[in-house]
Structure 1
């Protein structure tokens, strides 16, 4: 393995495993609230759907917040590194095109948490999609447009 900065490697001892469930989180550069713009947030959603349609990952739950996203996925025919690299890259290209901007959109790296099948995934999905409530962006979840979960 090349000697990359820690933000580009999985945690020590961790490897990306097909059919494993992961909670992925990444932040915009300088936590800029790019996705407060609903249309730009839909670009993120489009990339989640693209990954699923290509058989890279099965989206179980997600929420797009103004300055980050949480994505609960079952990894399929892809590595975590490839999934996140492609997703972030394609979102950046689309956002830059729509906003007439250039340059990076995301902080380097991402946070991943591998989950055991025994964990209460429905409870975790509810936690993920309730982020807008905890952040005070809405008073009820139905008022926030950028979330979904297969169980809810």
Structure 2
């Protein structure tokens, strides 16, 4: 009878390192979610929401990664991102959190913190179209009952919008 592989302890530092390395695959598209500290609805305030949205207009925070779609809900940010060659997911999300935290006024932070610890991510399946994932993502305000029409919600964007206009 062949020996079975030992089960690794998920609290082991080596296990966490392997998991981080495995999930940061350049060229892979991820659905990311970052919640505010204590899930506070900070972005119900237009000033705070606009400050975080401005982080998306600059290319340098994302470096060579591509933000395909994003939505800012009252208590979280969710994005569809294709990871570039230069950053891990942790580095990319950490940079976004740091820049967006500095962009908002101090009154929206708790002891200096805007975002909660960590983030969640899900790899898009190879047969899952990115545009379908983006549609689902930007439809969150509708499904949450924040607006009746998507056009009534200001805090989202996708790479598929025609920015040139008529």
Greater alpha carbon shift after TM alignment, 37-46 vs 103-112? 37-46
**Distance in structure 1 (CA, Å) of the matches to 2:61 and 2:94:** 17
TM-score normalised by the chain length of structure 2: 0.77
Instruction: Show the counterpart of 1:31.
Output: 39
**Distance in structure 1 (CA, Å) of the matches to 2:29 and 2:120:** 14
Query: Is 2:84 aligned against 1:62?
Result: no
Name the larger-Rg structure.
Answer: 2
Shift of 1:100: 8.1
Shift of 1:115: 1.6
TM-score normalised by the chain length of structure 1: 0.83
Describe how 1:1-152 pairs up with structure 2 within 5 A.
3=13, 11=19, 14-51=22-59, 55-76=63-84, 77-97=86-106, 102-152=111-161
Residue ranges of structure 1 left out of the alignment (5+ in a row): none
Greater alpha carbon shift after TM alignment, 129-138 vs 96-105? 96-105
Deviations 1:92-151 (A, max 9, x none): 122244758742111111001112343121111110000000110000000000011122
Greater alpha carbon shift after TM alignment, 61-70 vs 77-86? 77-86
Equivalent residues of 2:55, 2:61 under 8 A apart: no
Change (3 A) 1:89 1:54: closer
